[in-house]
Amino acid sequence: MISEKMEKAFNDQINKELYSEYLYLAMQAYFERLNLKGFVNWFTVQVQEEHAHAMGMFNYVHERGGEVELEAIEKPQTKWASPIACFEQVLEHEQFVTSRINALMDTADEVKDRAALSFLDWYLKEQVEEESNVGGVLATLKLIGDDKKALLMLDKELAARTFVQPVIG
Ligand code: FEO
């Protein structure tokens, strides 16, 4: 049985993951407006990943005999000054999520929930990958600067990203 404190912490994080999904959907819409279909694809995959992250915790809370209580999802930002500004926010957001996963692990430590700690290990590794992936796109965007041709080449590259349903936990 999951402790009340741990259950609340997971419920908070489910909301954060669903907000991530919503934020990236807003970013997907932004790149639709720019007609950069490879970026649109990149965010389509990102949205699916965030949904999978939320569902991983949703299922885990139930598996541990807890209850999921969904909260309202905050309205995300809808406009960005440039693709760079957008990806700067993605990186900042992923760093924030990493800090939240660390805080969840601190709570698991506090209540001596070893099972939750082991479950959260997957999320910690995923965050390392997420930050590295996003940081890579951001670094390329900075190199590209105002070169439209190079931006289209990156767009083509991002069109190849595919979603793989993760096995969480
Ligand atoms: Fe669910 Fe992008 O972290």
86-132 pLDDT, tens per residue? 999 999 999 999 999 999 999 999 999 999 999 999 999 999 999 99
Residue with tokens 């741990």: 6
| pTM recorded for the entire structure | 0.97
pLDDT number for residue 169: 84
Q: What is the pLDDT of residue 151?
A: 98
Q: Is the pLDDT of residue 164 over 90?
A: yes
**Cβ(130) – ligand 1 distance below 6 Å:** yes
- Which overall architecture, per CATH, does domain 4-158 show? Up-down Bundle (1.20)
User: How far apart are alpha carbons 44 and 25 in whole angstroms?
Assistant: 7
Tokens 């070169």 found at:
147
- Alpha carbon of 50 to ligand 1 centroid (Å): 5
Where helices occur in the chain by DSSP H, the ranges are 4-34, 37-63, 83-110, 114-144, 148-158
- Residue extents of the structural domains in the chain: 4-158
